Copies of this chain bind each other. A is one copy, B any other.
C-alpha cells in the first residue's frame, strides 16, 4: 500500500486486522497460541529480584534487617518464591513439548498432564531453593575477588551495588542451578535478563569456579560449553566462543558438543581479547593481553600480548 491507496481508518484497519489474523494461520514459529501459557518474563524478573533480597539482604528494598528479624524476611520470600517458581517451571516443561510453536491440542492439555507438570514444577523449585545456601557461599567469593581485583573499588558494598559483573555472575549461578535440574527455557530467560542489564552474556550451561570476577563487562560472551576454573578475571569485551560449528551429514548443526574453551585457575584475560574453540585451553596463571585473538591452547604461566602493533603512524 502506498500513500495514495490509503483511504481512511474505518476502511483500512479492518483489512489490516484481517490480514494479520490470516498470517497467524501460517507463521507458526512466531506465535504461541493455545491454552498452555508460556513462562512470564515479568514473573521471572520478580523471582530474580526476590532472590537478590535473600542473597544480599539489606542491599535491596528492605532496610532495618538484623539477626532478630531476618528469618521472617527470608522465610517469607522463600515461601513466596517456591509458589511462583513452581508455576513458571511447570509452564516451561509444558512449553518444551511445543518447540515448533504450534498450538497444543486439547488432549495434550488435559488435567493428568497438567497435574504432572505441576508436580515437576514443585519438585524442581524445591530442589533449586535448597541450593541457595551454597550459592551464597560461592557468591561471597566472587564479591571478595572483585574487591581484591580492582584498585578503584572502595568497599564490598560498592561491589554488590555497582558491579555489573557481580549481577551477571549472580544470575548466571542461579540459572546454572536450574539448568542442572533440567529446567528448559527459564535459565536462558534469566541470563538474557542479565545480558540486558549488564551487556554480559553468560550461557547457563557454562561451568564457572569460585572467585570469578568480570570488570566493566560490556560485550563479554561466555559460551555454553566453557569451563572456567577458580580466581579467573575477565575484562570487558572478552569472548570465549566457538571456532566453527560442525554439521551432521544432513547439514544440520550438531548441538551439545564442546565448542568453547577451557580456562584454568588464576587466568586473567584483558579487554576485548578473543579465545575460541572447544579444544583451546588457557593454562593456569596465564595472562591474555588486551585485544589478543587466540585459537590455540596457551601454556600455564605464560603471558600473551600484542608484540608490536602493526600500525601506520603519520
Question: Are A30 and B290 neighbours in the complex by a CB distance under 8 Å?
Answer: no
8 A Cβ contacts from A1-58 to B: 1-3, 6, 8-10, 12-25, 27, 29-35, 37-39, 41, 54-58
Tell me, yes or no, whether A307 is within 8 Å of chain B by CB: yes
In contact, B236 and A157 (Cβ under 8 angstroms): no
Instruction: Pick the 4 closest A-B CB pairs, nearest first.
Output: A72-B75, A32-B58, A99-B155, A307-B312
Q: Tell which of B58, B156, B219 touches A100, judged by Cβ atoms closer than 8 Å.
A: B156
Asked if A308 meets B310 with Cβ closer than 8 Å, knowing A272-B237, A272-B274, A290-B241, the reply is yes
The residue from B8, B151, B290 contacting A254, defined by CB atoms under 8 A apart: B151
Q: Pick the most buried of A29, A111, A198: most chain B CB atoms within 10 A of its CB.
A: A29
Q: Which of B67, B72, B112, B257 is A17 in contact with, Cβ under 8 Å?
A: B72
Q: Is the CB of B23 within 8 A of A136?
A: yes
Q: How many copies of this chain does the complex contain?
A: 6
Q: Are A70 and B24 in contact (CB under 8 A)?
A: yes
Question: A80: nearest residue on chain B (CB-CB)?
Answer: B62
**In the complex, which of the residues B1, B114, B131, B148 contacts A130, with contact meaning CB atoms closer than 8 Å?**
B1
Nearest opposing residue in chain B for A271, CB measure = B239
- Looking at the complex, which one of B78, B95, B293, B314 makes contact with A157 (CB distance below 8 Å)? B95
User: In the complex the two chains form, what is the Cα distance from A113 to B214 in whole Å?
Assistant: 37
User: Does A152 lie within 8 Å of B224, measured CB to CB?
Assistant: yes
Most chain B beta carbons < 10 A, residue from A18, A79, A311: A79
Which of B115, B189, B311 contacts A111 (CB under 8 A)? B115
**Given contact pairs A20-B136, A239-B290, A185 touches B157 in the complex (Cβ within 8 A):** yes
A144 touches B29 (CB 8 A): yes
- Per-position binary interface string of chain A over residues 228-272, scored 1 when its CB falls under 8 Å from any chain B CB and 0 otherwise: 000000011101011001000000011111010000000000011
Chain B hits for A56, CB < 8 A: 30-32
Determine whether the beta carbon of B164 is less than 8 Å from that of A195: yes
12 further interface pairs, Cβ-Cβ under 8 Å (given A6-B123, A38-B63): A9-B82, A13-B129, A16-B130, A23-B133, A23-B136, A33-B65, A99-B156, A111-B112, A150-B253, A162-B189, A235-B241, A272-B291
Residues of chain B within 8 A of A54, CB atoms compared: 20
Q: Are A57 and B33 in contact (CB under 8 A)?
A: yes
Within 8 Å of chain B (Cβ to Cβ): is A188? yes
Q: How far is the CA of A272 from the CA of B158 in the complex (A)?
A: 27
Tell yes or no: A122 within 8 A of B by CB: yes
Chain B residue with the shortest CB-CB distance to A15: B130
Can you report 30 A-B residue pairs in the complex whose CB atoms are below 8 A from each other?
A12-B130, A13-B82, A13-B126, A29-B147, A31-B56, A32-B157, A33-B65, A34-B65, A37-B64, A72-B72, A72-B78, A99-B157, A111-B115, A151-B253, A151-B255, A158-B188, A161-B185, A161-B192, A162-B188, A195-B218, A199-B219, A201-B218, A218-B218, A239-B271, A274-B290, A292-B309, A303-B312, A305-B311, A306-B311, A309-B310
